[in-house]
């Protein structure tokens, strides 16, 4: 059986991309910490000065290491919102992309029920959509609030170009 021994007195060599510059006094991420300076500081601590590490700004990293140190940096896990509770721009965009066909069916059934198909166009749909979302108790907002997966879109204020981009994505995914 192999026995695993750890060198308690020795510090582990820092791994590139896994450590960041942290202020020694406050323990917070250094204000001048960038990925390039973090790599350079890692190279300075590891005494890598040949090859690619030689191209890094090691002189600046040496200055930063006077008041900063390298510590392991754990990224925060992104918290995904529940369906219908989206809040970030990207999440709302994905939700609107998914909801667009449902909203289009609602538009055809409720807004343009007696018009000819040749009289219905995308620009008119976008105009109706923006105006309906701007009215707090409109039919569309009530419809979106009654569908929990789309409730985050209720009363959403976005420009015509934002909806136009979504329509283009639907045509050319």
To the nearest whole number, what is the mean pLDDT of the chain? 78
Residue 74, pLDDT score: 65
- Identify which of 15-24, 106-115, 134-143, 161-170 has the greatest average pLDDT: 134-143
CA gap 21, 12 in Å, rounded = 16
More confident residue, 104 or 9: 104
> Which one, of 69, 74, 12, lies nearest residue 41 by Cα?
69
- Identify the sign of the CA torsion 105, 111, 114, 118: negative
Residue 157, pLDDT score: 85
End-to-end CA distance of the chain: give it in Å, rounded. 56
- Per the rule left: phi > 0, alpha: psi between -120 and 50, beta: everything else, 75 is beta
Residue 8, pLDDT score: 40
**100: CB partners within 8 A, 6+ apart:** 166, 167, 170
pLDDT tens by residue, 69-128: 888 866 655 555 555 555 678 888 888 888 888 888 888 888 887 777 677 788 888 888
CA gap 42, 38 in Å, rounded = 6
pLDDT level of residue 17 (50, 70, 90 thresholds): low
CA gap 106, 59 in Å, rounded = 63
Residue 62, pLDDT score: 86
Spans of all domains in the chain: 19-72, 89-171
Model confidence at 139: pLDDT above 60: yes
pLDDT level of residue 159 (50, 70, 90 thresholds): confident
Residue 73 burial (10 A CB sphere; 0-12, 13-18, 19+) = middle
pTM (2 decimals)?
Answer: 0.50
**Average pLDDT over every residue of 135-161:** 87
Share of the chain above pLDDT 90, in %: 0
DSSP notation for 141-158 = HHHHHHSGGGGGGTT---
CB distance 64 to 37 below 8 Å:
yes
pLDDT level of residue 30 (50, 70, 90 thresholds): confident
Residue 168 burial (CB count, 10 A): 11
pLDDT tens by residue, 48-60: 778 777 777 888 8
- Identify the sign of the CA torsion 23, 29, 31, 34: positive
Q: Which residue has the tokens 């707090």?
A: 136
């Amino acid at each position: 059986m192999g026995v695993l021994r750890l060198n308690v007195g020795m510090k582990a060599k820092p791994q590139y991309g896994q450590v960041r510059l942290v202020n020694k006094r406050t323990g917070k991420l250094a204000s001048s910490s960038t990925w390039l300076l973090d790599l350079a500081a890692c190279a300075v601590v590891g005494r890598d000065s040949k090859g690619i590490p030689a191209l890094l700004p090691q002189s600046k990293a040496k200055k930063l290491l006077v008041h900063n140190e390298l510590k392991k940096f754990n990224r925060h896990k992104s918290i995904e919102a529940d369906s219908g509770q989206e809040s970030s721009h990207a999440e709302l965009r994905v939700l609107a992309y998914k909801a667009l066909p449902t909203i289009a069916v609602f538009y055809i059934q409720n807004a343009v029920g007696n018009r000819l198909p040749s009289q219905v166009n995308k620009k008119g749909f976008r105009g109706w959509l923006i105006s309906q979302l701007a009215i707090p108790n409109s039919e569309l907002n009530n419809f979106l609030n009654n569908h929990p997966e789309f409730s985050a879109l209720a009363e959403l204020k976005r420009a015509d170009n934002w909806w136009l981009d979504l329509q283009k994505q639907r045509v050319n995914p």
